[in-house]
Amino acid sequence: MIKKNSVENFTIHTIGVIRSCFVEKFGIPRQPGLAPSACAEIELVEPYNRQEMVQGLERFSHIWIQFLFHETLSEGWKATVRPPRLGGNRRMGVFATRSPHRPNHLGLSAVRLLGIKTGDDRVRLELGGVDLLDGTPVVDIKPYIPYADCLKDASAGWLSDDFIKISVEFLHEPAEFCREYERTTGRKLARLIEEILEQDPRPASQRDRKHHFGMMLWEVNVRWKIDKERCVVTACQTLEENG
């Protein structure tokens, strides 16, 4: 049970933990749904690892994950931030953004619910289209209710959804690596890399001065080069090979 410490402070608990393809922050899509192949699991923790607590949830196509931006906890919050979608050079109030540098560091993502696995005292929810870092503490799960949550007359302020996707190509070797990886793990790595890179994950500050980038997806180190609107995946290696 939640404890009310004072008028203004509340203690909340982790109810589950995210296991995700995103093992580092760089490369994570800026909102859920942008990379449909980005998969994750929530594993519920004690005492919430009971099948009955999610009974009926399997009938919803999408769910809300409320979580903590645990990697920015130590950095604290900021009154204003520079959103990447504004080119990184205009300040907005933090409450006018979805930045992790917010008071209470609460995150909110609507994701696809692919399935629920139970057994051996474990309850795991399989998710698609995530923007969640591996190890993220989950503090609530709710059904996505279209009539209350999908506001068809909402307008998006300074955000627009017509951002430009960049084209993504693979060199022969990483393309081969992805095929073999998918064959042995079932993970659609090539499609996932495409979905991530076509949105150009570079911070605005690096766009003019850096051309080679890398990120980790699961245990795979992915490297690419980028020039104007053209992106080429140059290498994919597992951490073992790489080290």
- Span 22-51, contacts to a second copy by CB under 8 A: 31-34, 45, 48, 50-51
Span interacting with a second copy, options 86-94, 167-175, 198-206, 218-226, rule CB under 8 A? 86-94
To a second copy, the closest distance from the beta carbon of 178 in angstroms equals 27
Span interacting with a second copy, options 7-15, 177-185, 203-211, 230-238, rule CB under 8 A? 7-15
Q: Is 7 in the site for a second copy (CB under 8 A)?
A: yes
Residue 220: CB atoms within 10 A of its CB come to: 25
The letter for the amino acid at 131 is D
Q: Is 114 in the site for a second copy (CB under 8 A)?
A: no
The single-letter DSSP state of residue 163 is P
Q: Is 143 in the site for a second copy (CB under 8 A)?
A: yes
Q: Which of residues 165-184 bind a second copy (CB under 8 A)?
A: none
Q: How far apart are CA 193 and CA 173, in angstroms?
A: 15
Residues listed for the chain: 243
Cα dist. 205→83, 150, 165, 209, 233 in Å? Answer: 11, 34, 19, 8, 21
Q: Is 140 in the site for a second copy (CB under 8 A)?
A: yes
Helix (H, G, I), strand (E, B) or coil at 184: helix
Q: How far apart are CA 194 and CA 224, in angstroms?
A: 11
* Pick 29 or 174: Cβ nearer a second copy: 29
Q: Is 104 in the site for a second copy (CB under 8 A)?
A: yes
